[in-house]
Amino acid sequence: MDVTTWYLEQTSRSDLLPAKPPAIEVDIVRAEVVSPEFSRFLNTAVGGDWHWTERLPWTWRQWADWLERGVETWVAYHRGTPAGYVELVPGDDASVEISCFGLLPWAIGKGIGGHLLETGAARAWDLAERQPEREPTRRVWLHTCSLDSPVALANYRARGFRVFDTKLNAPGDEYEGPAPGPWPGAGPRTPDA
């Protein structure tokens, strides 16, 4: 199956456009304790239906190494329950990548996505305030693909991200068939499941 990947960026904090408030109460909190278990949970719970398979074989040590390099995880909660997350990865070139962003299935359609993305991008722009060893952010970027949510690209654009590159690739077998779902053997969730 061919997959289109779009690379998007903001090159100024003023590029960030506000979102409407979510339809339900949401608190967005930084996960300040390095927790491979929690990060793996978020990655599979959000990405299982969208072919996020790259990290599935990671060991606990690989997760810990990834997080310990200054990665920030910001989690949206509704009444104490995770609704989604955004993962920020600082680069050596004063850039910050939004490497993961998404919602758990129950939270989709409640107006949380735009709010979470706005907050995550704002935290990417002020990351050096929390990590003073880093240069101030000069660029925030991300990528999405045609396997992601059908509203992902529109949400990124609505928050002020601009496409700077597009690639069409023919991936290997990892994209054949349905998405793996949130845990081994689960399969993709459907609205009826």
Give residue 193's pLDDT band: very low, low, confident or very high (50, 70, 90): very low
Please tell me the predicted confidence (pLDDT) of residue 173: 42
- For residues 173 and 170, what is the distance between their CA atoms, to the nearest angstrom? 10
Q: Dmax of the chain from CA atoms?
A: 48
Instruction: State the number of CA atoms in the 13 A half-sphere of 62 facing the CB.
Output: 7
Q: Would you place residue 186 in the very low, low, confident or very high pLDDT band (cuts 50, 70, 90)?
A: low
Confidence of residue 171 (pLDDT cuts 50, 70, 90): low
What angle do helix axes 60-67 and 36-47 make, rounded to 10 degrees? 100
Strands 81-90 and 3-10 come out as unpaired
* Confidence band for 11, pLDDT divided at 50, 70 and 90: very high
CA terminus-to-terminus distance, the chain = 26
Domains of the chain, first to last: 3-175 (3.40.630.30)
pTM for the predicted model, two decimal places: 0.88
Q: Residue 31: its pLDDT value, please?
A: 97
State the average pLDDT for the chain.
Answer: 88
Tokens of 162: 């601009």
Residues 6+ apart with CB under 8 A from 146: 3, 4, 5
CA–CA distance, 31 with 112 (Å, rounded to integer): 18
